Amino acid sequence: MIKVPVFPFALSDRSGIPEDQIQTCVSRLLAAFALGSLLTKYSPICCRKLNGSPIVGYFSDRAASRKLHYLLGLGSLIFSTALVATARIYWLLLAARVLQGCSSAVVWTVGMALLADTLPTNQLGVAMGTIGSVVSLAMVSAPVLGGTLFHHFGYEAVFYVLGGFLLADVVLRLMMIERKDALQYGVLCDEEPDSEGENRTLLPAERTASKSLSSMILVLRPPVLD
């Protein structure tokens, strides 16, 4: 959302779009992001193997490491954001926005799956509620931040700040230790307290339900960095 306020000015000054077509072109850019996100989150109906399930969740649940998927999504998001920042041809902007939507779907879904893997089930509600609140707050404040940066420092400054956020995210993900690695070195115990405060080992069905949570995360709103 941080760069949405600069789209009308970028289309007029950099792409040469006529004034009476700016609103239509901005709407198409927003729709392109949503299209990319939708195509990535949901499999084609004709694909029998996936059977209409979310593409990202399907492959993430079967991967040896979720971190790799997350980093690939972040790398693609950085590339598509750089393309949006430098592109002057409108169809290239549309393509970059579709790629941004695809990348954001990967980052969001795999990120929530990592959360489900890491936290005990009795803490997931609070954690996901907190994330939802922070995302909502950021979506409200990001356009204000983007407009302020554009007004005082120009078009490039918006993408410098956005790139800084993305690079910081990459560094944090590289430092992240997945639950399976922590268990391997004995940092965590594969147990969690029950409702009465006693530790118990998770049943196989409970493990499956927890690890399959990523297949049920169908987030249709764009992320903060849209």
User: For 30-81, how does the pLDDT look when each residue is reduced to its tens digit (9 = 90+)?
Assistant: 999 998 888 776 644 444 444 334 677 777 777 777 888 888 889 999 999 9
Confidence class for position 131, pLDDT limits 50, 70, 90: confident
183-207: burial string, b at 16+ Cβ within 10 Å, e else: eeeeeeeeebeeeeeeeeebeeeee
Residue range 86-127, pLDDT digits in tens: 989 999 999 999 999 989 888 888 888 888 887 788 888 888
First to last CA, the chain: 4
Would you say 38 and 12 are in contact if contact means Cβ atoms under 8 Å apart? no
Domains detected in the chain = 4-192+206-216 (1.20.1250.20)
DSSP 137-206: HHHHHHHHHHHHHHHHH-HHHHHHHHHHHHHHHHHHHHH---HHHHHHTTSS-SEEE-TTS-EEEPPHHH
Of the given ranges (3-17, 58-72, 178-192, 212-226), which has the lowest mean pLDDT?
212-226
Amino acid sitting at position 116: A
CB 192 within 8 A of CB 202: yes
- Residue 1: per-residue pLDDT: 73
Give the position of tokens 């002057």: 88
Q: Is the pLDDT of residue 212 over 80?
A: no
Three-state DSSP class for residue 31? helix
Query: Is the pTM above the cut of 0.85?
Result: no
Mean pLDDT of 176-195: 62
> How far is 131 from 122, CA to CA, in rounded Å?
16
